[in-house]
Structure 1
Amino acid sequence: MKRKPIFISLFMLSTLICFAQQQSLITGIVFTNDYLPAEGANIVLLSATDSAFITGTAANKNGNFQLKEIPKGLYYVQVSMLGYQKNSCKANILAGKPFMLDTIYLQPEAIGLNTIVVTAKKPAIQIEADKTTINMEATIVNTGGNAFSVLETLPGVYINSNGAVSLNGKNGTKVLIDGKPAYLQGEELVSFLKSTPATSLDKIELITNPSARYDASGNSGLINIRTKKTRIMGFNLGITSNFMQGKYEKSNHSVSFNHRKGKFNLFGMYGYYSGRNYVDLQVIREFEEENPSEQTTFNQLSYRKRNEDSHYYKGGIHYFASSKTTFELALNGYTSNQAESGSLNSNFINHIGKRDSSIKSSTINDNMRNNISGTIGLIHKIDSTGKEFSLSADYLHHAVDNDQYHNDLFLYTSQNEVMAESAGTKKGTIDLFSMRSDFTYPVNEKLLLESGIKSEYVNIDNTSDYKNREQQEWEPDYGLSSHFIYKENINALYFNSRIARYKFVLEAGLRIENTNIKGQLPGNRLQADSSFSKSYINLFPSVTLSYQAGKNHSLNLSYRRRIDRPNYQDMNPFVYIFDTYTYEQGNTTLQPQFSNNLELSYLLANNYKVAVFYNQTNDVIAKSFILSENSKRVYVMPKNLATYRSCGIRLSAGNLSPVKYMQSTASIGLTHNQYEWSLIQDANKTAQTTLMFHVGNRFLLGKGWLAELTGYYNGRMAMGQMKIASFGQLTAGIQKKLWNDRASISLYSNDLFHTNRVNMTTRIGNSTARTFEKEDHCILGISFTWKFSKGFESKEFKRKGEAFDTKRINL
């Protein structure tokens, strides 16, 4: 019954569109000489009488474009794109009559080695109704960093050192790389992003309203990181070297190449990251008791140092079998070696402020990760109108080998000392296989239909073994040891349509997903065997209605239903011992969370946007803190809370120019988050209104010199049982172009005043915990980039959709 209002609204909106007043429209499609869509080609409409500019637009990913509200008259349509010769054609528009142009083809423009090339500068930010695109070429500071440092500075994006990502103050954001999954989550995702140099990035898309083509996962939206793909026919080489110094040193280096000749395009990349980081942490827990004389405070100071070396590589080949058919074969790999050591000092203080007992602890944690994936794909252009069929298959293998050691020295007021030692190992693998097929069918210039299917299979096998040292002998700890086997199959079918009628555009889609899971926990001496299985089908509708009020004004209303399944680490019962009084483990009983999202936005001249939104998520997955009744130990594990609600307003300005030599972008938002749940029969609620703003300034100093000053601020926010204090950072940099823009050197500094600190307050049973955390964000860096290329440009192979929901992978 809940779906009735949705379908009734769809019917009413479709009826409204049919009766709207008719307007003239020019439509067309642009291809390159090898029959690939000329995405991003500039379309300009000029008067045939005096060549006066009338309007303009850009071709979409399928090469299609529209010019709206065109009065009667004779015009020239001029098409241009970097690396290609201009092309133009005539258009004789009659009053009220739509006009469809013949297919336009662009021929490549040869570029000699001694030729001076003038390139168009991309705007820093492009704002659309469903997404915001940040172009990396227009930034300076980020060129010296890595993908992780880039995400930290994007408007509305929050990512912490544990890999938790939120967008516009809302949790549950999925990360994609070139429309495909990042293959990693949590700390694995952080390591991968740090090994990816920022100079390899082309643009980042913040997608708040994804269509049915995408997987239904991602409550707050998607972050699609698009890497640079050269279109040079011939050979292209790029080298980047970057050094950073905070409290500890860090560096990342990369080399990439591309060689296209005839029907073959060979590409590859290798990236290396090496660095040291620290976490300086203070935890204060105040335990409230009915008897004031029994009140206790737990005060812990810890310092952890982490050394990491990671390698990332990818390579592949594109085979252009014909002007309409392209094959892709690609391999991606990632390895990481991480060594962490820490010391902890914990004190229990009684109600009169005197120390009752203390614990001195040390931990060692070694983690090795290995990730490799492969893909094979096919795209076939059926004809020049945009009809297209694609097929792809992907395989992923992810393995982790973790060893941890922990010891405690208990010191009591009676001068007694007690030593306790524990050790654990975790070995696990994840194997994923996915196949998908997509079909695009433009019926005419006003109606576009899309459909596709996808199947995904997951197999997980994790084993953890713990032991304690007692009387100089190591004894197995069967209470903490576990073996987790998990299998999952997700099958999906989607339909999507887009219809343009007069001043209205309606995009409506439906995604159907069938999920089948089986889990098994083989027992041991203390734990009995257990297993579970589930199977369910869910529908995920998506609707966007756009109204073009004028040449520069549009109003957009959208609705999305989304799902976020537990990531595999959250379901793994493996226990991580932070200290004697803090254990973190998974939860095999987790359920998926479902959300409903509404957004109303106004777009002015594709440069200014005002959006109001509302989100409600049921069974929201959040990190929970549970206090043991018989001890002071806190168990940290993900749980399904009852409800999460989020609403707010966001204002964005894409490209401003206060003065001639200065370019600016700005955004500001206000978000209210509220979590409700029950814990041990007690109703709980956490709520907070959060102010977030971001300002970026770019200064054109001339003679190849550029400077940048960027800052952001995130106000106090609620996240499950936690409240995170406000934080922000200011970043600055300067860059000099060298050798006719073939090289550049950048000097930059992140978090100038060391204000990017995470302080949290958490209510845990009858106690209140306060956490103060510092990391090595304040750094000074220098980066050098050099690139060599020759030839002329040609459009690259493009693959649709993502293979896996790898936001869930974290062994």
Structure 2
Amino acid sequence: MKRVILIALVIQCVGLSHLWGQVTTPNTSQQRIKHVSESGSRPKSKETKTIRGKIIDETGEPITGATISIPETTVGTVSNQNGLFQLSIPAGTQSLTISFIGYATQEVAPESQMKITLHPDTTQINQVDVVAQQPNVQVTAAKTTIYPSLSPTTSSGSAYSVLKNLPGVIINSDGSLYLNGKSGVKILVDGKNSYLSGTDLVNYLMSLPASSLKKIDLITHPSAKYEAAGNAGIIDISTQKTNAVGYNLNVNTNYEKGKYGRANNNVAFGYRQNKWNANGMYGYYQGSNYVDLTITRDFPATATEPLTFFDQDSYRKRENRSHYFNLGVDFYATPKTTLGMTVRGSSTNNKENGTLHSVFHTLTTSNDSTIQSLTNNDANRKNLTSSLYIQHQIDSLGKEISASANGLYYSANETQFHQDVMSRTSGPSSEDVSQALKDGSIKMYSGRADLVYPINHQWRFDAGAKSDIVNINDGANYENRQNGQWITDPGLSTMFNYRENINALYVSGKMQKKPWTAELGLRVENTNVEAGSVSQSYTNYFPNLLLSWQLPNTNALNLTYDKRIDRPNYHDLNPFVYVFDGYTYEQGNTGLKPQFTNRFIFSYTIRKAYKLSLFYTNTTQAIIKSYFIQPGTKRVLVMPTNMSSHHSYGIQGDAAQLALTKWWKTSLHTQLAQDNYQWMENGSTLRNEGWSFQAGLQNRISLPWGWSGEVSGFYNSRMANGQIDVLPTWQVSGGIQKSLFHRKATLSIFSNDWFHSNHTRIKGVITGGHVTTNEFDDHTVLGVSFTWHFKKGADVKKVKDKKGIDSKRISL
């Protein structure tokens, strides 16, 4: 720990010695710069100076045609096809305005060498001219970026429904998450880990309104700066942040109705005056959902029992209420130094009431025994995260040093009640009643320091250090009711105490010398774990590489490689038992080991809009949810385990903003993949493999009278996933959107899953027997969303989102 802090201090010292290196200027003989010098107000000064720079977007690609001008004058120029510009200005000029349609305008101080990143202006996405210019999907070799506000079907509802509608993303009601058919996905919110998994993650995403989302990055090749976790990649959800002088206030109300109704209301504000900038949001979510699950199992015949079948039909209604807030304050101490803090929290109450009807029968008996089950669960969860940070911009070329300290407190208290009544064709009936009282807390602390050091327009060096400390204390007390009294069940009651410390260092270098771009990074992570009486320490190295050959017309050939680690999330490690009924238990596995993945991707990209990729991944000790029949019983135990290996290879294609006509544009995502899983069972090597196909289509349509519309859908074929196969599913959704009252308001009407076809079906083999399941939830909905924008002031310089705890995998 001390070594990490010392290295972090060294990095900061290196960053402050910013006089290192000469800045390479653009070759003005190879570019044509346009200077605007018509008659009008022009600063009066005999002395002038020449400034040069480059305008890029969030992905690092040059922006052609951006305007660079002196405010309230006619002095200016535009960037060329390489994003470069050169401009002579009076020596006393204090600020420049940088603008491009579809992007937020920035006001910056002029310097001799400048590198400026423009960010999409999602606060004005409903203006006709912006929609015509800015695509809602951008594709690069390392990631795909989606702007939800530009789509009627993803600008309404919650973050959960937005992810449900994204091609290549599968998220289920139990929190299981897949990206391009692969599990092991890491979710960040504003660059920070969401800290949640399982149903906790689902509840959090449901409370986060879609109107608060700025963009979603599907990152398939994270740089060394990111934590090495994420076998399938990273989903980074960025929320809106205003930076306008004066005030901004957005009020949003959203209601959707399927079988049950759900409402999400929130108010977001922004205020900037002089050196202070504040942003915040408060939201309240209330709604109900359901899970309708059918299960069919067969148990192989034994010497004493015939082939037996088990049919179960369960229905669970879930009621959720949550308060959510965030607050961020930035203080611009100097034009180059920013101090800030953020606080984010939520308080959630979840109630689940369910009934289960289970039947055992054989080939010769239609009904051997019947079980009627009742479950009632009540859970309260609180989540509070905070961050303090400092960011210092060394020069306008992009040199920057930053540091942050972060904390998390998470608590959960849950009561579970379960009752089974068994009726037999012969013999007396029986009743089993049990309850579980669970409570626990998680405390996390994190600190990091990062250095970004462009040496010139061609060379860049990054480095950083990070340390996380996690403390978990959970308790579960299970009781059985006997003769009217509650008796502790020592077989299920348990405590879970867990300590984890991860220390990390990373370095990376990037070279851009046409036609080549090369980026090489190395991240080192040291992990120290204490779980009960067991402790372990290990250190791993995670290299990553990106090579890109730039072709004409901003096309490129790319090769990427990275090594990733997925440590078990805390829910999977927790030994607590969740009782569905007397014949279905789910439990964590304290013996889980991390899984490691090596991944290669070769891709061809065209103008940030099209990408064709070949990929191969090899995962050892793959963490997969597995199923067992407990010896001597017919009880199925669901538990995560480490499989021997998982190999996957295939081809993937993406196309964004294909203009079929002037009023019709479409985006497409496809993937064809082969997956191969291997594991040991009873001394034998078993395998599950097969090809899978995914396709997603999004059609954006310009309608009369200022309306815009969308029809989107996806299809996922059968997909191997450990012991089981996930069977095909598909969906069609749509919506319309319009700006009202001189663009002060936005109305969206949307409908998801028109044919109620997006449900989860699986089948597999469990200890020689077969199982199939079919699960529906309340996803077929019709909804409406209305947002009113209050604004007074002008856009000013944007401040980068601060990266905080890229930490762990929490669920109680």
**Quick check: TM above 0.5?**
yes
Identity of aligned residues (%): 40
Aligned position for 1:134: 146
User: Do residues 167 (structure 1) and 179 (structure 2) align?
Assistant: yes
Select which of 537, 555, 558 maps to 1:553. Answer: 555
1:376-387 matches, cutoff 5 A? 376-387=388-399
Quote the Cα distance in structure 1 between the aligned partners of 2:29 and 2:621.
Answer: 49
d(CA) in 1 for partners of 2:78, 2:333: 40
Contact 1:122 1:135 in 2 (8 A): no
Q: Are the aligned partners of 1:358 and 1:412 in contact in 2 as well (CA < 8 Å)? A: yes
1:52 to 1:83, Cα distance in 2 relative to 1, 3 A? closer
One-letter amino acid of the structure 2 residue matched with residue 738 of structure 1: L
2:227 counterpart SS class: coil
| CA shift for structure 1 position 480 | 0.3
The match for 2:99 among 65, 80, 84 is: 80
Farther-moved stretch of structure 1 (309-318 vs 345-354) = 345-354
Q: How far did 1:88 drift?
A: 15
Quick one: distance in 1 between partners of 2:716 and 2:139? 21
* Distance in structure 2 (CA, Å) of the matches to 1:31 and 1:557: 25
Which of 332, 344, 350 is equivalent to 1:320? 332
Q: How does 1:19-418 map to 2 (within 5 A)?
A: 29=53, 42-44=63-65, 56=81, 80-81=99-100, 84=105, 102-103=113-114, 119=130, 121-290=133-302, 294-418=306-430
- Measure, in 2, the Cα distance between the counterparts of 1:258 and 1:786: 14
Q: Which position in structure 1 is the counterpart of 2:748?
A: 746
- Partner residue of 1:486? 498
Instruction: Tell me the residue number matched to 1:607.
Output: 609
Q: Deviations over 1:456-496 (max 9, x none)?
A: 00000000001111222221100100011100000000001
Cα shift at 1:680: 2.2
CA distance in 1, matches of 2:117, 2:370: 75
Letter in 2 for 1:622: I
Letter paired with 1:323 = P
Amino acid corresponding to residue 306 of structure 2 in structure 1 = E
Contact conserved, 1:168 with 1:671, CA < 8 A, in 2? no
Which residue does the alignment assign to 1:454?
466
In structure 2, the partner of 1:678 is 680
1:213 is paired with a residue whose SS is coil
> 1:596 aligned to 592, 595, 598, which one?
598
Query: Please, which runs of 5 or more residues in structure 1 have no aligned partner?
Result: 1-21, 59-64, 68-76, 90-99, 108-115, 521-530
Read off the aligned partner of 1:585 and give its amino acid letter: Q
Q: Which amino acid aligns with 1:634?
A: V
Partner AA of 1:628 in structure 2: Q
- What SS does the corresponding residue of 1:783 show, helix, strand or coil? strand
**Structure 2 letter corresponding to 1:688:** G
Amino acid at match of 1:56: Q
Mapped partners of 1:461, 1:293: distance in 2:
44
C-alpha distance after superposition, 1:726-751 (max 9, x if no partner): 00110011122101111121211100
Counterpart for residue 451 of structure 2: 439
Maintained 8 Å contact 1:252/1:274: yes
Deviation at 1:367, TM superposition (A): 1.1
Q: Distance in 1 between matches of 2:232 and 2:541?
A: 18
Contact 2:377 2:416 in 1 (8 A): yes
Distance verdict in 2 for CA 1:38–1:693, change over 3 Å = closer
Paired residue type of 2:255: F
Shift of 1:606: 2.3
Give TM-score, length-normalised by structure 1.
Answer: 0.87
Query: Kindly tell me: are residues 242 and 584 of structure 1, through their superposed partners in 2, closer, same or farther at Cα, counting changes over 3 Å?
Result: same
Amino acid at match of 2:99: S
1:575 Cα deviation from its structure 2 partner:
0.6
Residue type of the partner of 1:186?
A: G
Alpha-carbon distance change, 172 to 57 in structure 1, aligned in 2, over 3 angstroms:
farther
CA RMSD in angstroms comes to: 2.9
Is 2:748–2:786's contact at 8 Å kept on the other side of the alignment?
A: yes
TM-score, with length taken from structure 2: 0.87
Q: CA deviation at 1:269?
A: 0.3
Task: Give 1:802 shift.
Answer: 4.2
1:763 alignment counterpart: 765
In the alignment, the residues of structure 2 paired with residue 327 and residue 53 of structure 1 have an alpha-carbon distance, to the nearest angstrom, of 32
CA gap 1:371/1:245 in 2 versus in 1, 3 angstroms: same
Paired residues of 1:451 and 1:496 also in contact (CA < 8 A): yes
* Conserved 8 A contact 2:79-2:85: no
Q: CA deviation at 1:102?
A: 3.6
Alignment deviations for residues 228-262 of structure 1 (CA, whole Å, 9 cap, x no partner): 11121110000110111111111111100000000
Distance 1:795 1:186, change over 3 A: farther
Deviations 1:364-385 (A, max 9, x none): 1111110001100000012232
Aligned to 1:71: none
CA contact (8 A) 1:214 1:802 kept: no
The residue type paired with residue 723 of structure 2 is Q
Residue aligning to 1:18: none
CA distance in structure 2 between the aligned counterparts of 1:160 and 1:302, rounded to whole angstroms: 17
**CA drift at 1:718:** 1.4
How many angstroms does 1:784 deviate by? 0.8
Aligned-pair distance for 1:293?
Answer: 6.6
Q: Which amino acid aligns with 1:44?
A: G
Q: Report what 1:538 is aligned to.
A: 540
Task: Tell me by how many angstroms 1:682 deviates.
Answer: 2.4
Q: Which moved more, 1:256-265 or 1:352-361?
A: 352-361
Deviations 1:22-77 (A, max 9, x none): 99988964699xxx99999844399xxxx99995356xxxxxx699xxxxxxxxx9
How many angstroms apart in 2 are the aligned matches of 1:104 and 1:150?
33
